[in-house]
Chains A and B, each alone.
Chain A
Amino acid sequence: MSIENILDVEFGTELPVFEPDTTLANVGAFARAVGWGGPRFESHEGARKEGFPGALVPGIMGMGFLVSAIHRWAPTGTVEHIDGVFRAPMIADTPAIISAVVTDIDEDEGLVELDMTVKNTKDETRVFGTARLRLPKAEA
């Protein structure tokens, strides 16, 4: 269900699961666009030489996935605040599963709080965080 205003939101609602594109090509394009191009994010072999298990997905790309998941669920909302904790590396070319749950609603202010995670297919948390979303108030 797509959310249009604050009255559409229910406490405890789980957002639709979002599986973003974590292919090496996509991750590399993101990394270059933020000025972080290089083996760590663009080459599995290059990243392994740096001691990583494979090319990394930048933590801030994980935050981008979280924001995209919110916007897909609530196209009229504005993400005012997002906080992500980078708990463990995300690896390119492996699935990332974005999930979120509504943890607080302020109908007077039109604000929604969300707890969010990025997990791998082993259900291991890679990134977790919170977000605050402002939604239109219901029309009188």
Chain B
Amino acid sequence: MVDIEELKKQFLNAEFDSKNFVLDAENLLVVAKTSGETRAQFIDAEHADFQATPAFLCSLASGRHLPIDFPALGGIPMDGGKAVECFAPIRAGQPITGKSHLHDIYDKQGRSGRMIFIVVRMEIVDTEDTLLAISDSRLVIREKPAA
């Protein structure tokens, strides 16, 4: 059984990936409109405040889900949820960088065994390194019982 405290000591808060993005206006529009958005700053590319929806920011993914040396826990990681905190609008065509680290690791014991939750946090910054948004992805792994 994996020691969660040991994993936390080894992996939390260390950046393991960095990826550059430039958001495409057409994709921002499609995501907003298909989500049922009605606000002009999300569905009108000509609007002075045109910007990405929070849901779009959740779709930004780093090159890898976990640090390269993170141990295999046996099960297939499932997408347990997302969260996004917005500090400033993110515009189409604006160069941004997503810097990823593990923010939290915890477990829950269920009837069918232990589930391990890993929160991967991406800090989205502009070219001045100003924090624009934080996107959290919760990976859920059902631990394989020891043979």
Name A residues whose Cβ lies closer than 8 Å to a Cβ of B.
Answer: 18, 20-21, 26-27, 29-30, 32-36, 59-61, 63-65, 67-69, 71-72, 75, 78-86, 129
Contact = CB atoms under 8 A, between A and B. Distances in A.
Contacts of B34: 21, 26-27, 29-30, 33, 61, 64
B81 A68 contact: no
Interface string B12-40: 00000000000000110011101111110
Nearest to B85: A81
B55 A80 contact: no
Contacts, number: 98
Contacts of B83: 81-84, 129
A30 B36 contact: no
B123 to A, nearest CB: 15
Given A30-B30, A67-B37, A68-B38, A61 B55 contact: yes
A84 B83 CA distance: 6
B59 A34 contact: yes
B27 A34 contact: yes
Contacts of A68: 35-38
Nearest to A86: B81
Contacts of A85: 80-81, 138
